[in-house]
């Protein structure tokens, strides 16, 4: 605008973001820019906007408010004759038939209505008298004589639609717009009828190459369009942002985070606003696997230690679940459950592929399960939660079905690594629990927590088909039904879990 309009020029208009493919305005995208805060420069670059101008109040210092609309419009058309596309002249006509066509198309473009003005009317700051009227699709086509801000009419803003029959355009008593907007058109403009959700996501990012990160952020800064205030030039604002990126890796990271991308395009939902903050994360050596560690049960009370050492002691002569072992198992159970739920959310019913290394949980399952649907996978995720709940109740996590049996094997494998390498539970929390010689006795845990290791045969491709209780190999080893559809049926010697228990995610 600074380059296109002479100093001392005041125009009346509205900022809009237009979707050229859909042929409609994007008010949610505009709202996202308005609420962008520090991300305004990035939002402006990502979502270019146009200023639609429909009146001029001053031209190079000349006050035009006392001139009739006819003359102001002529001055405005001359003023914007060579303006770039981002500075658009709002269309105007005295042809009633054309106006009727515009009104009929409002539901498609997302515009609210038409404004009918008196060509002899002057611009009244603070009120309009009877010089113009607005016909709004938001009220079924009726005209209204109020406006929100005296100097900013809003004929292009998307508002709600109510199913009322349109009234005639002012000045044309015999003409009526007889088209009812379609339900889809109404749904498209009924902003307040759309449910909204706040998504909270915490992402742990490890900086592997700070120099590369800063270079990428500086490239974004160089491409961005900055909006400076009256005390600073665009170049000064850009230079300050470059300095901030060089000085602080967190600032550099904010330039490379696109919170709006958390929702895919064209899926029936769109981001209308977002904020991004980057804070220093966990220290080196900590891990996302410490899921729920802050809410960890009091395992010292749940699994009191016995130190008698008697060979016939029921508490400590066999497997003694120690508080530290319980804490590790509980943490890795939560980790595996979340990994499984993540896979469900990301992949749904998509079969597992060994060519896709993005799977967090189900690529570690036997191949015979790789084609199971999202419902089956959610049950597998809940199996980890069920075993974690056993531990949180002070009970041994004893598998009640093949799905839990597989979960227990995976938990014990991860627990061994967590205990050896210091992850799973923050050391400062683990060190608060009493130590015992029986801590981390995973080999004994396999013998006690699992009735057998038959389910591990499913990993052997040479034994494909052994899961079927009718197969010769299955009957020879007497391993039972391990077909995927039977994985969540309780063992005959186990107490079934409550079938009404919920899924955590």
- pLDDT, tens digit, for every residue of 239-272? 888 888 888 888 888 888 877 777 876 677 777 5
Confidence (pLDDT) at 168: 31
* Secondary element (H or E) of residue 133: strand 132-136
Q: Report whether 72 contacts 54 (CB < 8 A).
A: no
CA distance 489 to 400: 8
E strand or H helix at 13: strand 10-16
**Quick one: how far is CA 283 from the chain centroid?**
26
3-state secondary structure of 259: helix
Give the CA distances from residue 347 to residues 292, 375, 384, 385, in Å, rounded to whole numbers and listed in that order: 24, 12, 19, 20
Q: Which residues, 6+ apart, have CB-to-CB distance to 288 below 8 Å?
A: 204, 335
Q: What is the CB-side half-sphere exposure of residue 98 using CA atoms within 13 A?
A: 6
pLDDT confidence bin for 230, thresholds 50/70/90: low
pLDDT, greater one: 390 or 268: 390
Better-predicted residue by pLDDT, 109 or 464 = 464
Taking the C-alpha atoms of residue 112 and residue 293, their distance in angstroms, rounded to an integer, is 52
Is the pLDDT at 21 greater than 70, yes or no? Answer: no
- pTM of structure: 0.46
pLDDT at residue 20, rounded to an integer = 67
| Contact (CB, 8 A) for 316 and 306 | yes
Give alpha helix (H) positions in 275-370. Answer: 299-302, 323-347
Euclidean distance between CA atoms 373 and 503, whole angstroms: 16
- Cα maximum dimension of the chain: 107
Q: Smallest Cα–Cα separation from 22: which of 343, 266, 294, 321?
A: 266
- 207 contact partners, CB below 8 Å, separation of at least 6: 213, 249, 253
- Architecture of the domain made up of 10-193: 2-Layer Sandwich (3.30)
With a cut of 60, say whether residue 377 has pLDDT above it. yes
3-state secondary structure of 87: strand
pLDDT at 126 over 80: no
- Residue 433 reports pLDDT greater than 60: yes
SS3 state at 304: coil
| Residue 154 in this model has a pLDDT that exceeds 80 | no
Q: How far is CA 212 from CA 147, 233, 437, 464, in A?
A: 52, 28, 48, 47
Q: Is residue 496 within 8 Å of 404, Cβ to Cβ?
A: no
Contact 317, 310 (CB under 8 A): yes
Give the per-residue SS3 of 450-482.
CCCCHHHHHHCHHHCCCCCCCCHHHHHHCCCCC
Share of residues in the chain with pLDDT > 70 (%): 73
Half-sphere exposure of 408 (CA within 13 A, CB side): 27
Q: Vertex 14, ends 267 and 236: CA angle to 5°? A: 90
Q: Which of 117-131, 254-268, 379-393 has the lowest mean pLDDT?
A: 117-131
Contact between residue 30 and residue 11 where contact means Cβ atoms under 8 Å apart: no
Interval 299-324: pLDDT, tens: 999 999 998 888 778 888 778 899 99
* The Cα angle at residue 256 between residues 237 and 271, in degrees rounded to 5: 100
Strands 50-59 and 87-89: parallel
Token pair recorded at residue 478: 């007497």
Alpha-helix runs per DSSP H in 105-167: 106-109
**Taking a C-beta distance cutoff of 8 angstroms, is the pair 458, 482 a contact?**
yes
User: Does pLDDT of 451 surpass 70?
Assistant: yes
pLDDT at 321 (0 to 100): 93
pLDDT of 365 strictly over 90: yes
Domain ranges of the chain: 10-193, 198-281, 293-486
Per-residue pLDDT for 83 more than 60? yes
38-47, 111-120, 407-416: range with lowest mean pLDDT: 38-47
Q: pLDDT-based confidence at 227, cuts 50/70/90?
A: low
């Amino acid at each position: 605008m600074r380059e296109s309009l002479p100093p001392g020029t005041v125009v009346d208009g509205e900022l809009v973001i237009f979707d050229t493919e859909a042929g409609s305005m994007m008010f949610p995208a505009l709202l996202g820019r308005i609420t962008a805060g520090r991300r305004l420069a990035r939002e402006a670059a990502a979502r270019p906007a146009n200023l639609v101008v429909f009146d001029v109040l001053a031209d190079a210092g000349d006050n035009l408010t006392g001139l009739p609309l006819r003359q102001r419009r002529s001055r405005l058309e001359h003023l914007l004759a060579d303006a770039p596309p981002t500075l658009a002249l709002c269309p105007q006509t005295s042809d009633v038939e054309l106006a009727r066509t515009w009104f009929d198309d409002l539901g498609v473009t997302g515009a609210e209505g038409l404004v009918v003005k008196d060509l002899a009317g002057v611009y009244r700051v603070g009120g309009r008298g009877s010089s113009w009227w607005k016909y709004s699709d938001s009220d079924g086509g009726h005209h209204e004589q109020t406006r929100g801000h005296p100097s900013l009419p809003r004929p292009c803003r998307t508002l709600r639609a109510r199913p009322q029959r349109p009234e005639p355009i002012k000045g044309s008593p015999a003409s009526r717009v007889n088209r009812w907007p379609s339900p889809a058109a109404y749904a498209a403009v009924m902003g307040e009828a759309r449910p909204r959700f706040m998504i909270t996501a915490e992402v742990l990012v490890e900086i592997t190459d700070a120099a590369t990160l800063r270079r990428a952020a500086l490239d974004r800064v160089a491409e961005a369009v900055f909006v400076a205030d009256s005390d600073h030039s665009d170049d000064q604002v850009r230079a300050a942002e470059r300095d901030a990126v060089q000085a602080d890796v967190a600032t550099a990271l904010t330039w490379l985070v696109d919170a709006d991308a958390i929702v895919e395009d064209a899926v029936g939902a769109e981001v209308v606003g977002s904020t991004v903050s980057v804070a220093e994360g966990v220290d080196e050596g900590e891990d996302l696997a410490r899921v729920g560690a802050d809410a960890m049960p009091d395992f010292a009370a749940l699994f009191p230690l016995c130190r008698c050492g008697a060979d016939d002691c029921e508490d400590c002569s066999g497997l003694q679940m120690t508080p530290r072992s319980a804490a590790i198992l509980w943490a890795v159970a939560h980790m595996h459950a979340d990994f499984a739920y993540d896979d469900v959310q990301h992949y749904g019913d998509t079969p597992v592929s060994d060519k896709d290394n993005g799977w967090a949980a189900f690529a570690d399952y036997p191949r015979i399960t790789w084609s199971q649907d999202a419902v089956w996978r959610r049950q597998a995720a809940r199996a980890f939660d069920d075993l974690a709940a056993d531990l949180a109740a002070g009970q041994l996590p004893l598998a009640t079905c093949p799905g839990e049996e597989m979960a227990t094997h995976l938990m014990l494998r991860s627990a061994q690594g967590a205990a050896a390498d210091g992850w799973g539970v923050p050391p400062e929390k683990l060190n608060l629990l009493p130590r015992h010689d029986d801590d981390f006795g995973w080999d004994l845990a396999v013998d006690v927590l699992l009735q057998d290791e038959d389910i591990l045969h499913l990993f052997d491709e040479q034994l494909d088909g052994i899961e079927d209780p009718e197969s010769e190999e299955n009957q020879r080893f007497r391993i039972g039904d391990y077909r995927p559809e039977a994985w969540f049926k309780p063992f005959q010697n186990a107490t079934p879990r409550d079938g009404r228990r919920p899924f955590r995610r």
